């Protein structure tokens, strides 16, 4: 059976005291907070809007017909999904425009 030989001169990540690194660690998140808030808000809308639409329309609009109320709730889920795709596409376009402006300024 093969085993790894420990070399005393090598330091493992447990032995590192942190003094050898002169670089500052980057504490910024990998994803901007605006993107996280946008995702959370659309998640909340995807949960509450179809369910709220169903219970609102089942008795008040369609008079107890759960089939039409369910169809309306499914339509509202699709509205939220399409809105999320549109917002994501606009955000992607704005990122591209900012990069193009930076390139023009650099020239």
The per-residue pLDDT for range 43-100, each reduced to its tens digit, is 999 999 999 999 999 999 999 999 999 999 999 999 999 999 999 898 888 878 888 8
- Cα(56)–Cα(29) distance, integer angstroms: 40
Overall pTM surpassing 0.85 (yes/no) = no
Is 12 inside a domain boundary? Answer: no
Is 24 inside a domain boundary? Answer: no
Is 79 inside a domain boundary? Answer: yes
Is 85 inside a domain boundary? Answer: yes
Is 63 inside a domain boundary? Answer: yes
**Domain encompassing residue 37:** 33-106
Is pLDDT larger for residue 21 or for residue 70? 70
Among the listed residues 31, 27, 30, 11, the one whose alpha carbon sits nearest the alpha carbon of residue 19 = 11
Confidence of residue 105 (pLDDT cuts 50, 70, 90): confident
Is 11 inside a domain boundary? Answer: no
Is 82 inside a domain boundary? Answer: yes
Is 10 inside a domain boundary? Answer: no
Question: What integer pLDDT is reported at residue 23 of this predicted model?
Answer: 65
CB 74 within 8 A of CB 54: no
Among the listed residues 94, 54, 43, the one whose alpha carbon sits nearest the alpha carbon of residue 76 = 54
How many independent structural domains does the chain possess? 1
């Amino acid at each position: 059976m093969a085993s790894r030989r420990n070399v005393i001169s090598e330091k493992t990540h447990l032995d590192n005291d942190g003094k050898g690194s002169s670089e500052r660690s980057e504490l910024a998140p990998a994803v901007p907070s605006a993107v996280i808030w946008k995702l959370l808000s659309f998640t909340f809308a995807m949960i509450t809007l179809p369910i709220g639409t169903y219970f609102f329309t089942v008795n008040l609009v369609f008079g107890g017909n759960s089939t039409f109320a369910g169809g309306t709730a499914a339509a509202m889920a699709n509205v939220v999904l399409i809105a999320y795709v549109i917002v994501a596409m606009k955000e992607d376009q704005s990122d591209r425009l900012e990069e193009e402006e930076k390139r023009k300024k650099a020239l």
